């Protein structure tokens, strides 16, 4: 069996990226995404915004046959996506992401993105905020940030010519431990399958803007 690698119909046309993205249930199992290209996709996705630039998202890229076999029984009714896609990206948030605060702010100064006095002022404000935030408030904030990067990841994948599907149907209680992660620290958000569709995803009806929007 020949393995198909390389990039597929990359595009920078935003309407094409947004309007032609559909969730895909079955993929061409012969298509593989190189780790170099996957790293590029994740780097672009990581430009998504996050609260106070804390970037709580963490990725587990499951692209080996062994990894997919381990994932499949945890993926309930999403096993086809898990086994046929080029990879499944498990999105977690890091409950201890505050550990990276000083690195994030210091690097911003080093790279010229922020003056030192602004960093000092923000650190004085942010450190007590994180020290006093409740676990539920932190979870809500981290889930919002993780949702932002998940959507951006799917759009970046589409720009690279790949198809995706976000999945919530999997065993969230076991996935971290199954892959050797600290389940208290790394909290599951969703799985995103990525690859080349074996058949096109179906378009879906969307409520009109008049139904979902109010003006004030």
Concatenating the DSSP letter of every residue in 103-169 gives: HHHHHHHHTTSS-HHHHHHHHHHHHHHHHH--HHHHHHHHHHHHHHHHHHHHHHHHHTT-EEEEE--
pTM: 0.92
Average pLDDT on 127-149 reads 95
Residue 200 scores a pLDDT above 90: no
- Domain-wise residue ranges, the chain: 14-94+143-212
Chain centre to alpha carbon of residue 208: 27
Across residues 78-107, what is the average pLDDT? Answer: 95
The mean pLDDT value for 100-114 works out to 95
Model confidence at 52: pLDDT above 90: yes
User: How confident is the model over 110-126, as pLDDT tens digits?
Assistant: 999 999 999 999 999 99
Is it true that domain 14-94+143-212 has CATH number 3.30.930.10? no
Q: What is the pLDDT of residues 158-186, one digit of tens each?
A: 999 999 999 999 999 999 999 999 999 99
Query: Which pLDDT does position 202 carry in this prediction?
Result: 83
């Amino acid at each position: 069996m020949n393995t198909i690698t390389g990039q597929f119909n990359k595009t920078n046309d935003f309407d094409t990226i947004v309007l032609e993205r559909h969730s895909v249930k079955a993929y061409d199992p012969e298509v593989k995404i190189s780790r170099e290209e996957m790293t590029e996709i994740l780097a672009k996705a990581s430009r998504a915004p996050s609260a106070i630039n804390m970037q709580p998202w963490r990725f587990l890229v499951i692209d080996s046959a062994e990894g997919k076999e381990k994932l499949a029984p945890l993926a309930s009714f999403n096993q086809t996506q898990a086994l046929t896609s080029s990879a499944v990206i498990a999105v977690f948030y890091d409950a201890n992401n505050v550990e990276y605060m000083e690195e994030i702010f210091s690097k911003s100064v080093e790279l010229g993105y922020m003056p030192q006095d602004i960093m000092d002022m923000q650190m004085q404000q942010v450190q007590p905020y994180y020290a006093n935030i409740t676990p539920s408030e932190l979870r809500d904030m981290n889930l919002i940030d993780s949702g932002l990067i998940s959507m951006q990841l799917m759009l970046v994948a589409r720009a690279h010519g790949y198809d995706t599907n976000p999945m919530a149907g999997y065993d969230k209680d076991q996935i971290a431990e199954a892959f050797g992660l600290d389940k208290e620290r790394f909290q599951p958000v969703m799985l995103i399958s990525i690859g080349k569709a074996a058949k096109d995803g179906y378009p879906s009806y969307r409520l009109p803007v008049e139904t979902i929007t109010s003006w004030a």
